[in-house]
Amino acid sequence: MARFMFDAPTVIKTKRDGGRLSAETIDWVVRAYTDGDVADEQMSALLMAIFLRGMDPDEIARWTAAMVASGERFDFGDLSRDGKPLALVDKHSTGGVGDKITLTVVPVVIACGGAVPQAAGRGLGHTGGTLDKLEAIRGFTAELPRDRIRRQLCEVGAAIFAAGELAPADRKIYALRDVTGTTESLPLIASSVMSKKIAEGTRALVLDCKVGSGAFLKTEAESRELARTMVDLGTAHGVVTRALLTDMNTPLGASVGNSVEVAEALEVLAGGGPADVVELTLALAAEMLDAAGLDARDPADTLRDGSAMDCFRALIAAQGGDLSVPLPLGTHTETVTADRSGTMGDIDAMAVAMAAWRLGAGRAHPADAVQSGAGVRIHRRPGEPVTAGEAVFTLYTDTAERLGPALAALDGGWSVAGGEFSCRSLVIDRIVP
């Protein structure tokens, strides 16, 4: 009966004209799109209407619940390790530039006694996806059946997997947002993130909500509203949820891409790496452990003693990855040098992101393959001294024709200044229920 009560053009027009979608309408359109009864063109139009007109809190909550209901929902509450129930906790970033933190924080949390079931995604818009990075490792697979996820959580302490049948409506909508200019919508970001996280079976969740030029939402007010919306959604579904607002005006770390970010994560796990990546890893790990009720160990110890690296290697091996095989690196390179001496000024995160995207690290269509070896290395971070003629960026790609557009994207996105540079705080605020 429901299929005859609703139609896509009317739903689109309602939101286009600033109307409110009823709970029944949202349930229908999400289910109908998942089943193929609403076409991509129609959902694209509705997503743009939502992007332009927004949603109220009740609409967002219902849209999220409808996406959770579109597929299965995992429950790992019966699992234990060493005779104790698993302390299930996850983290999610709203999307940044150079954001390889999942690769560093998950093994830290495992080493501290947590268990991380993470349904991860591929690149969306200008941001890199966790799965794109991990799939740069030879043999790594994110396609894990439920019984394997359960076994890995008990034996290894984590599983990072493609969402599969979790929130299949979100999988379709997520891919559509990437190619229709609707990625920066607060309601769509909140519902996308939380539908997967609620469905994946975690008991606690820490959100890394980015603020700045390289974030989907540029202002602190918007990011704060997004964080509050997601914390409220998680709490309403019984997930202990909190968020950190973190700066994303400058790329995180010294690499942006896929394999180059894996290499940097390995440096951090070996006890080195860029200071900002280490700082955010430890801040998020501390929040995750606290949310999960774990306080037995200092996360920083796991980087010093190598236990986090051991956990990462075990996780990668469990999912078929071979870290003994060299990570791929683009065969065509271009170096950008400083034309004057001074202090490295701001590096615009969006400019670097677009350069990496044009090099092949991202996708313009859902079916596109990414180049694992494409990316940007940043040799001088803001505030560091620079000498004229010194390399400040190196670009990598397997397609020589991509270098020109990438250089154009980077042009104007950085500067060398003559005076003092004032660094911003990485963690801006903390949002709790």
- Contact between residue 160 and residue 199 where contact means Cβ atoms under 8 Å apart: no
- Contact between residue 200 and residue 71 where contact means Cβ atoms under 8 Å apart: no
16 noted as active-site residue: no
d(CA 124, CA 177): 8
Beta strands in 264-341 (DSSP E): 332-337
- Contact between residue 281 and residue 268 where contact means Cβ atoms under 8 Å apart: yes
- All structural domains of the chain: 2-54 (1.20.970.10), 80-318 (3.40.1030.10), 332-417 (3.90.1170.30)
| pLDDT at 367 > cutoff 80 | no
pLDDT in tens, 391-416: 999 999 999 999 999 999 999 999 99
Annotated catalytic residue within 15, 62, 92, 237: 92
Annotated catalytic residue within 90, 170, 276, 348: 170
Annotated catalytic residue within 150, 172, 196, 210: 196
Annotated catalytic residue within 91, 133, 177, 197: 177
- Contact between residue 57 and residue 192 where contact means Cβ atoms under 8 Å apart: no
377 noted as active-site residue: no
What band does 1 get if pLDDT is binned at 50, 70 and 90?
A: very low
196 noted as active-site residue: yes
pLDDT in tens, 47-106: 999 999 999 999 999 999 999 999 999 999 999 988 899 999 999 998 889 999 999 999
CB neighbour burial string for 276-295, b if at least 16 within 10 angstroms, e if fewer: bbbebbbbbbbbbbebbebe
- Contact between residue 269 and residue 308 where contact means Cβ atoms under 8 Å apart: yes
339 noted as active-site residue: no
Q: Which two tokens stand for residue 258?
A: 């896929």
pLDDT in tens, 8-21: 999 999 999 999 99
191 noted as active-site residue: no
Q: Is the pTM of this model over 0.95?
A: no
Q: Which residues pair with 375 in a beta bridge?
A: 257, 396
